[in-house]
């Protein structure tokens, strides 16, 4: 059974698909693709079915040489059962996710992705949607840092992985 990660932002076209694709890339590099599965979702329904934002894709291709894959979907309550860890990009998304779990049964599965950063001190991944190129590049740098830390965390927790 692979360990399942879900990355969540607002619209699922910038930050969370970037995190999903960066993490998948790191997992492949570590030869762990049989052990860890990644997906992403948005707390809103704004962009359901859309591909990742082209500006985000350009930043990922330029900085890492990877193309962002996937289509936006909305976070569902069933995701709480399906995934081992749910990683929110910012505090607002984190709170929105927790609101869908009023009993608190799954709260221990929900994290802010920046908790796993070792190089950056930002506590949230800023939404680059209305900004310029630099914002998209910053998101990639932050997410690489967070995903590297997350992979270390998971592999240290999962001795059999």
Rounded to an integer, the average pLDDT of 151-156 is 96
149: Cα within 13 Å, side-chain hemisphere:
17
* Tens digit of each residue's pLDDT (9 = 90 or more) over 111-151: 999 999 999 999 999 999 999 999 999 999 999 999 999 99
Are 113 and 125 in contact by the 8 Å Cβ rule? The answer is yes
Model confidence at 157, in pLDDT bands (50, 70, 90)?
confident
**How many CB atoms within 10 Å of residue 103?**
6
- Catalytic residue list contains 38: no
Give the active site residue among 14, 15, 39, 73.
15
- Rounded Cα distance, 3 and 23, in Å: 13
Summary mean pLDDT of the chain = 96
Task: Evaluate if residue 102 carries a pLDDT over 60.
Answer: yes
Task: Evaluate if residue 58 carries a pLDDT over 70.
Answer: yes
Q: What do you get for the CA distance between the two ends of the chain, in Å? A: 10
DSSP, residue by residue, 82-143: H-SEEEESSHHHHHHHHHT-TT-TTGGGEEEGGGG-SS---SS----TTS-HHHHHHHHHHH
Q: What percent of the chain has pLDDT over 90?
A: 96
Task: Evaluate if residue 85 carries a pLDDT over 60.
Answer: yes
Q: What are the backbone angles phi and psi of residue 36, rounded to the nearest 5°?
A: -130, 130
Task: Evaluate if residue 161 carries a pLDDT over 70.
Answer: no
Q: What is the pLDDT of residue 16?
A: 98
Token representation of residue 57? 């894709």
Q: What is the dihedral of CA 20, 28, 157, 140, to 10 degrees?
A: -40
Task: Evaluate if residue 59 carries a pLDDT over 70.
Answer: yes
Q: What is the pLDDT of residue 158?
A: 63
Give the active site residue among 39, 53, 127, 145.
127
- Catalytic residue list contains 127: yes
- Provide the pairing of β-strand 85-88 with 36-42: unpaired
Are 111 and 88 in contact by the 8 Å Cβ rule? The answer is yes
Task: Evaluate if residue 65 carries a pLDDT over 90.
Answer: yes
Q: What is the pLDDT of residue 13?
A: 97
């Amino acid at each position: 059974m692979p360990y399942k990660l879900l990355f969540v932002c607002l619209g699922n076209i910038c930050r969370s698909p970037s995190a999903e694709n960066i993490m998948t890339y790191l997992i492949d590099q570590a030869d762990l693709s049989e052990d860890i599965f990644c997906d992403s979702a948005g707390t809103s329904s704004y962009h359901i079915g859309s591909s990742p934002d082209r500006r985000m894709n350009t930043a990922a291709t330029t900085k890492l040489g990877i193309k962002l894959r996937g289509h936006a979907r909305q976070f569902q309550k069933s995701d709480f059962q399906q995934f081992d860890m749910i990683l929110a990009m910012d505090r607002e998304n984190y709170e929105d996710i927790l609101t869908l779990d009023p009993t608190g049964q799954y709260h221990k599965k929900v994290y802010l992705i920046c908790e796993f950063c070792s190089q950056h001190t930002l506590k949230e991944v800023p939404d680059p949607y209305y900004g310029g190129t630099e914002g998209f590049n910053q998101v990639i740098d932050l997410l690489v840092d967070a995903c590297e830390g997350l992979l270390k965390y998971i592999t240290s927790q999962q001795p059999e992985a």
